[in-house]
Structure 1
Amino acid sequence: MQGVGILGAIIVGILAGWIAEKVMNRSHGLITNLIVGLIGAFIGPFVLGILGLMPVGGGFWVSLVVSSIGAIVFLFLLGLVRGR
C-alpha cells in the first residue's frame, strides 16, 4: 500500500475486509475486517505478482482493489482450512 499513509492504510484495510466479507458471504466486525484487509494487503500483491497482473502505480483505489483481492483469497483459504 504505497502512497496512502497510515490513516489511508487503515481505511483501505477496513474497506477491503468489508468487501471480502460481502463477497465471501461472511459476517465479521470492524476490527476483524481491518485485520482481514491488512492481511489481504500483503497477500494481494503476492498473488497478483505471481500471475503477472500487478498494476503499476499506487494510490488509494489501486491499494483498495489489490487488498480486496488479497482479503478474498485469505478468507477463501481460511474457509478451506476451517472447513466452511
Structure 2
Amino acid sequence: MAGVGWIGALIIGALAGWIAENIMKSDQSLLMNILLGIVGALVLNWLLIAVFGTTLGGWIGQLIVAAVGACLLIFVARLIRRKS
C-alpha cells in the first residue's frame, strides 16, 4: 500500500477485510480480515501496475483496491475449497 505506512496499512487492511467479509457473506476473525485486506491490496496493486502501469493513490484509493483484492481472495479460496 503505497505511501500509507504500517499503521495505515493495518487500518486499511482491517477495514477492507471487514468490507469484503460483508460483501462476500463470509465469517472471518479480525486478524483474518487484516490479512485479507493487506494481501488483497498487495495482489491487486501488483495486477493494476502490471496491466495499467499505475494504481489508485491515497487512503480511499487503497481502501477500494484492498477491499476488491480481498473479495477476489475470498472468491478464489471458495473455488479451491469447492474443487477439493
Sort the TM-score into its range (normalised by shorter chain).
0.7 to 0.9
RMSD over aligned Cα atoms: 1.9
Corresponding residue for residue 31 of structure 2:
31
Runs of at least 5 residues in structure 1 that lack an aligned partner in the other structure: none
Corresponding residue for residue 59 of structure 1:
58
Q: Which amino acid aligns with 2:28?
A: H
Q: Counterparts of 1:1-84 in structure 2 under 5 Å? A: 1-49=1-49, 52=52, 54-56=54-56, 58-83=57-82
Identity %: 37
SS in 2 for 1:41: helix
Given the two structures, how large is their TM-score scaled by the length of structure 1?
0.85
Find the aligned partners of 1:51 and 1:12 in 2 and give their Cα distance.
Answer: 23
Find the aligned partners of 1:18 and 1:65 in 2 and give their Cα distance.
Answer: 12
What is the number of residues matched between the two proteins? 83
Question: Contact 2:45/2:55 (CA < 8 Å) preserved in 1?
Answer: no
Post-superposition shift, 1:83? 1.2
Runs of at least 5 residues in structure 2 that lack an aligned partner in the other structure: none
Find the aligned partners of 1:53 and 1:22 in 2 and give their Cα distance.
Answer: 30
Given the two structures, how large is their TM-score scaled by the length of structure 2?
0.85
Q: 1:79 to 1:52 in 2, by over 3 A?
A: same
